[in-house]
Amino acid sequence: MTATTDGSGGAPAFRAPSASDRTTDHRPAPEDPGNLGTTALLAAQRSVEHLLGRQDTQGWWKADLETNVTMDAEDLLLRQFLGIRDEKTTAAAAVFIRGEQRADGTWATFYGGPGELSTTVEAYVALRLAGDGPDDPHMERAAAWVRAQGGIAASRVFTRIWLALFGWWKWEDLPQLPPELIYLPSWFPLNIYDFGCWARQTIVPLTVVSAKRPVRPAPFALDELHTDRHDPSPPRPPAPAASWDGVFQRLDRLLHRYHRVALRPLRRAAMNSAARWIIERQENDGCWGGIQPPAVYSMIALHLLGYDLDHPVMRAGLESLDRFAVWRDETTGPGGRPEGPARMVEACQSPVWDTCLTVVALSDAGVPADHPALVRAADWMLGEQITRPGDWAVRRPRLAPGGWAFEFHNDNYPDVDDTVEVVLALRRVKHPDPLRVDEAVARAGNWTLGMQSRNGAWGAFDADNTGTFPNRLPFCDFGEVVDPPSADVTAHVVEMLAHEGRAHHPRTRRGVEWLLREQEPNGAWFGRWGVNHLYGTGAVVPALTAAGVPGSHPAIRRAVGWLESVQNDDGGWGEDLRSYREESWIGRGVSTPSQTGWALLALLAAGERDGKAVGRGIAFLAAAQREDGSWDEPYFTGTGFPWDFSINYHIYRQVFPLMALGRYAHGEPPTGRNGG
């Protein structure tokens, strides 16, 4: 892989390979497979050198976070709406979008996945903005496929909102959410805090957009994407009145009627309250929540309320979005034709997550606890701890802050997963100021305990964010909009608490009991934030054994049996994203370095170091490693929303294999504080 700047300065980021240059570059299989300990050590050493060379001078690591072309399409649509779209940005975005098109004319949401309607519609519109004509062969293929799938009318709500901004869809045919929603108290159903933080940050500005119903002049027609050009938005048949879907569809009709009769002073006050809510949550770097979708909708909403592009809030927001862009200096298209620079937009950036995982991996590989790179990383992570309340305090008003976020700037939304992994990383470092580390860890531990949900488990951003109503709204037809506890987050918490000497704490034991209850009949655990059962199982087994569950426990034995049963013939493990929808895909997929690492972490924690499955897995990782110590992995193994939004964390292919190799060569990490 080649490198490019990541928009934050400092070290180069890992470049996202285009569809045309993604190839597998495996090293030859080790000549002496019987001496796997030496093989693992040599592979780990190469990986360590590679990762140490990628650290930023400030102490962090950050690799590309690749999602799908809707990020790039919506970025162009935002610029078109605000009147700031420029030729250089448009041309570079179009190069990237074209490079991701599949042979059948569609765009997928993950590498190797099927064509997806809304993604294809948005990519098509972005290329039209870039000057690609509807008669171009690649555009004709896309338009024909869209029509065959039902046209724009069958796309998701968020896609049709973007099209409504330019008159390509009617606002009257979109679900309605009024800005008066901002006034609902936190105990009332469907208040904004019933939604997960990512949905909350998106919905609040969209209530303003929905109330304003703006239409900018469309630069071209989109008749070719409609199945019925005379009536491009035919009504959909309602669900039965006795069903929940029917209830919420009829509620949506009432909200449309309310839109026509809403009291002007109340509506104006609600939109102003929404604007204040939005501005209060803008981060120091200008973004919202550290992620792209709330940022683009927030800027549209504020612009509609009179904030011009020179306003400090808007200017900072636009500058933050530019930092999400990953530029490639030169790319080639079909037949090796040069196409100039390409621009990929990240949905968010993951320096805290990447850094803490990298520190753990380097420690597992035997890097000394006082190594300067680890100390620099610890210093940077300590400086990122969040010590002021955020939206999580609505449910936990008496809880003192102390968490970490995923991104460079996201103080309103620290998350449990990053917090506990940072603690695990800090404990791997021999820091010159151990008292500072102890104080930070104490704050983090107390905050984490306080974020436990009533059922004994942990969600990512909020406690007890388990309501079912938000998912039923017609408006919310894309991805998860609530944040219930998950096995992978709960497992990471349990592992951290065990390493902090709290394995027998009552809250830890409740987490262990919840995890044991959540095991699937096949022996695996569901993966909410990674793909999928391999991720869940790879997190839970090490957590359970760290908390004192013996390797002979039936739950551990069932997990080992499942992992052995789904190992691929090449010795690796892989699970396709389709496992979120189809049981037949559970544990099945092309072997990947990151998922092989997860499986090995579980097997090693279960005491299977000398087992045949572990040996074959270690040999796979050594054979798959590149000459420079890295691994290639075009497949998406991270999860934003199960099935709906997938992520290729380019750091995963580097850190999880190294963790597995290191633990195989050096043994499991000790339980309890390290680095002191």
Q: Are residues 324 and 355 in the same domain?
A: no
Task: Give the model confidence (pLDDT) of 344-361 as tens digits.
Answer: 999 999 999 999 999 999
Q: Spell 203-218 as b/e; 16+ CB within 10 A means b.
A: bbbbbbbbbbeeeeee
Q: Are residues 491 and 411 in the same domain?
A: yes
Spatial contact of 479 and 640, defined as CB atoms under 8 Å apart: yes
**Stretches in the chain below the pLDDT threshold 70:** 1-34, 229-237, 239, 241-252, 255, 258, 330-338, 476, 670-676
Domain contains 506: yes
* Residue that is last in its domain, among 325, 345, 365: 345
* Residue that is last in its domain, among 304, 326, 345: 345
Q: Where are the alpha helices (DSSP H) in 326-415?
A: 351-364, 372-383
Domain contains 459: no
CA distance 510 to 502: 12
Domain contains 5: no
Residue 673's pLDDT is what?
52
Residue 240's pLDDT is what?
74
Q: Are residues 46 and 187 in the same domain?
A: no
Q: Number of folded domains in the chain?
A: 2
CA distance 250 to 229: 27
Residue 112's pLDDT is what?
93
Residues involved in catalysis: 417
Q: Are residues 272 and 405 in the same domain?
A: no
CB atoms within 10 A of CB 187: 8
Task: Give the model confidence (pLDDT) of 174-225 as tens digits.
Answer: 988 899 999 999 889 889 999 999 999 999 999 999 999 999 999 999 999 9
Q: Are residues 392 and 301 in the same domain?
A: no
Long-range contacts formed by 52-58: CB under 8 A, 24+ apart: 52/362, 52/367, 52/373, 54/11, 54/12, 54/14, 55/11, 55/358, 55/373, 55/376, 55/377, 56/10, 56/11, 57/10, 57/11, 58/10, 58/376, 58/380
DSSP 158-178: HHHHHHHTTTSS-GGGS----
Q: Are residues 366 and 267 in the same domain?
A: no
Domain contains 39: yes
Domain contains 2: no
Domain contains 95: yes
Q: Where are the alpha helices (DSSP H) in 451-565?
A: 469-472, 487-499, 506-518, 533-546, 554-565
**Average pLDDT in the chain:** 90
CA distance 637 to 66: 11
Domain contains 21: no
Q: Are residues 257 and 275 in the same domain?
A: yes
- Residue 18 is encoded by which pair of tokens? 């285009």
Q: Are residues 417 and 558 in the same domain?
A: yes
Spatial contact of 197 and 288, defined as CB atoms under 8 Å apart: no
CB atoms within 10 A of CB 235: 8
Q: Are residues 410 and 553 in the same domain?
A: yes
CA distance 206 to 22: 37
CB atoms within 10 A of CB 612: 11
User: Residue 578 is part of which domain span?
Assistant: 35-65+347-451+486-666
Residue 500's pLDDT is what?
96
Q: Are residues 341 and 378 in the same domain?
A: no
Spatial contact of 32 and 345, defined as CB atoms under 8 Å apart: no
Find the CATH number of the domain harbouring 333. 1.50.10.20
Q: What global pTM score does this model have?
A: 0.90
Q: Are residues 223 and 357 in the same domain?
A: no
* Residue that is last in its domain, among 327, 345, 363: 345
Q: Are residues 256 and 393 in the same domain?
A: no
Domain contains 471: no
CB atoms within 10 A of CB 167: 15
Q: Give how far the C-alpha of residue 12 lies from the chain's centroid of Cα atoms, to the nearest Å.
A: 21
